[in-house]
Structure 1
């Protein structure tokens, strides 16, 4: 499970390094190629709420093999894609697999692990998810240095194919089956998430049809409202949203989202800063994330054990403080920092993520009865993905709009870029302040659980 999650997580963050190559190969612009990541995230968000139903109605071994097969076929389609449209189809299939796997493997780990040991276990899960996300641009930079862009996906396909064969013998059915009706209406209504994020992605772009955008946004919001109401009113909801009645669980959603935003924005925005402001190569910009990825990997198992010993609140306060110091330094100094200090600040932010993201997921699970763990994990994963996707979109929009505005006012392109990055740094510093406040509001997770 962990190897599959690691590979699929890398596939999520690694492709951005290949954007320039893909733009040239397919003859597309930057806004089009970005859909390889944006579309991926949108489809993931829709599939995550379905994962509890799949876990309850399909034996885990069969489900895991199905996930691997879907991802493998999707990757094969990407490798042989003759045009961008076919490549997007392959990426969509990859996203379906990842959207099901991420909450599912966390649910399984939490279910089979005693509550007093969950922090340690989820520390290793955090190592896989966090370090894979951070390692994506690094692996991409190395592979693209020695091969064409297809080589990157061939690597993924080889690993997943080997894992499929191993899983035929190694994976066991560990989750109890609770057959239930799949509420198709809820599935359809959940597509409102795609509409909302699609409109957010349109902000700041040229030649927007505002009437169409407003209609899509209103319809999407209505769909989500219907989805939420339906989960509280039908006998067999797609997703048990009553987990949100637990305040500590709600805080865990906010904290895992805040830490994930910090991590994914670093992995996407920092390589762009290295290339555009500091003028380093794609290879160096990817490798510059290595210290942060290494620190994140080393800290995740430690923070999990630490949470079991000294409590989740203190661990997460440490993490949010590290993240806040990183973004705070960037917001004060501005976008005129050289490569090595930027690498140190990136490592500080990524290290802080190790103290927050998976401890928050574990704390949320500890606030719930065992039979709601899969639903709780799906809700956390969905919100985290939505917040992470929105964070990347917001960072990209700020960067683009501030640069365009400054250039139109007569500022040089170089200074306009630096100003854009500085506004991004300030924005995410403010966001992480909210994360620190949430950590301060945490209560002892052993006090109450949903009945």
Structure 2
């Protein structure tokens, strides 16, 4: 591609994916409004996000097959169109079930596009510049997640909840029209039949994520959850076995034979846990302990999101220059220090919390996308699409697990403290403090993983 064509291609792809990514985390701010509008409970409205994440994880493993069998232009525009139609259904939805249907359509589109756009960026970028371009891609993965609640808070301040989906429709429709002229078919295709047995086995992810989500809620029915968990694990065992034995697997899990790749998968997951827990737990701390309003708690996420957006491209370039391992060690050090301060030093000032959020989110910029790039560099080119799909899926599962664990600790310890006579404010402090210690430990494990990883050059020979 010519330089201008290439720039328009990448910009269009990133803007579309960024907008779709925002929808993943944007609805949390609108929960109270939606609960009143549809007369539903908090447990029900949360499925707009929980269901989104589950469906997204189900469609991610199918992305390598789609890249091998459909032109990328058709795939990209098809995902945009599916997202647009889902958003339109949400906008016109007369009841919660129609809104949920629209969210499922949105999630399917995002699940297909998330691994695909990363694979395409790696495919069209010279090996020595992969870190830089994936740093830019980090704007989509990290910044969009952090920006979701901020953008929705601003939109909801001036319009109704439907205004949020008007925003999505306008942007995605514009990107869809531009795609007609700038998108190209850049991926080699290897036609094959879709293995529907593997698709069925992959449904175990639904059960696994359902259990993870429900485990973090009060009043969980553990006997039922344990049965679902056992069946889900059995399906996933069958899924893994099939991918390792059939001639043309839907998701080639032989990528896991590279130890360096495995470490990269874990490292990007651990950094993502810190990012998503900060964006969900910190606003709760601002409101429940510091007494901030929902709008202020949403706007308090802006500095961290801004720093993350600023650093992502810079850390990618840094990884290309000094190596991936040193870059990721810097990031994990920042994350460990951030959680460590929270665990050891009580902070009752919102500005201090904003500073900690900036430290943790800034550290994520040094870790998540460099780890994705290093993982891709550890694989032969023909397996990059499968490797990216595995990383993206595992990251979502670990992120969901992190949120569930944080919620479980927060709810149970706060409730236990209240039962033993503690005031609500003191009980909340205890719950949040336990969360901080937990993820301080998680961050230390991530740092150890970063010390074990090896900086590698891209190669085609593995």
Query: Which TM-score band applies after superposition, normalised by the shorter structure?
Result: over 0.9
Measure the CA separation in 2 of the matches of 1:392 and 1:450.
39
Q: For residue 46 of structure 2, what is the aligned residue in structure 1?
A: 34
Per-residue deviation at 1:210? 3.4
Determine if the alignment matches structure 1 residue 6 to structure 2 residue 18. yes
Contact 2:67/2:187 (<8 A) preserved: yes
Cα 1:430–1:61 shift into 2, 3 Å: same
Cα 1:204–1:244 shift into 2, 3 Å: closer
Q: For residue 125 of structure 1, what is the aligned residue in structure 2?
A: 137
- Deviations along 1:253-301, one digit per CA (max 9) or x if unpaired, are 0110011111111111111111222121221111111111111111111
Q: For residue 282 of structure 1, what is the aligned residue in structure 2?
A: 294
The SS at the match of 2:379 is coil
Alignment of 1:109-120 (within 5 A): 109-120=121-132
The counterpart of 1:97, out of the listed 100, 109, 115, is 109
Measure the CA separation in 1 of the matches of 2:319 and 2:141.
18
Measure the CA separation in 2 of the matches of 1:301 and 1:378.
22
Measure the CA separation in 1 of the matches of 2:142 and 2:411.
27
Measure the CA separation in 1 of the matches of 2:65 and 2:418.
51
Measure the CA separation in 2 of the matches of 1:149 and 1:177.
41
Measure the CA separation in 1 of the matches of 2:39 and 2:67.
41
Contact 2:265/2:372 (<8 A) preserved: yes
Q: For residue 348 of structure 1, what is the aligned residue in structure 2?
A: 359
The SS at the match of 1:182 is coil
The SS at the match of 1:279 is coil
Q: For residue 17 of structure 1, what is the aligned residue in structure 2?
A: 29
Measure the CA separation in 2 of the matches of 1:375 and 1:447.
16
Q: For residue 389 of structure 1, what is the aligned residue in structure 2?
A: 400
The counterpart of 1:228, out of the listed 240, 246, 266, is 240
Contact 1:246/1:449 (<8 A) preserved: no
Contact 2:216/2:405 (<8 A) preserved: no
Please say which of residues 239-248 and 125-134 is displaced more in the overlay.
125-134
- Deviations along 1:6-49, one digit per CA (max 9) or x if unpaired, are 10111111111111111122112221111111111111111100
The counterpart of 1:254, out of the listed 243, 266, 284, is 266
Cα 1:205–1:58 shift into 2, 3 Å: same
- Deviations along 1:123-147, one digit per CA (max 9) or x if unpaired, are 1001222111111111111111111
The counterpart of 1:376, out of the listed 387, 390, 398, is 387
Q: Normalising by the residue count of structure 2, what TM-score does the alignment of the two structures yield?
A: 0.95
Determine if the alignment matches structure 1 residue 435 to structure 2 residue 429. no
> 5+ residue gaps in structure 2?
1-12
Contact 1:303/1:355 (<8 A) preserved: yes
Alignment of 1:1-400 (within 5 A): 1-203=13-215, 205=217, 207-334=219-346, 336-400=347-411
Work out the number of aligned pairs and report it.
Answer: 450
Measure the CA separation in 2 of the matches of 1:306 and 1:447.
16
RMSD across aligned positions (CA): 1.3
Contact 1:204/1:401 (<8 A) preserved: no
Contact 1:265/1:395 (<8 A) preserved: yes
Please say which of residues 360-369 and 197-206 is displaced more in the overlay.
197-206
Q: For residue 428 of structure 2, what is the aligned residue in structure 1?
A: 417
Contact 2:329/2:451 (<8 A) preserved: yes
Measure the CA separation in 1 of the matches of 2:461 and 2:386.
13
Per-residue deviation at 1:189? 0.6
Measure the CA separation in 1 of the matches of 2:230 and 2:311.
43
Per-residue deviation at 1:213? 1.9
> 5+ residue gaps in structure 1?
none
Measure the CA separation in 2 of the matches of 1:35 and 1:354.
29
Q: Normalising by the residue count of structure 1, what TM-score does the alignment of the two structures yield?
A: 0.97
Q: For residue 403 of structure 1, what is the aligned residue in structure 2?
A: 414
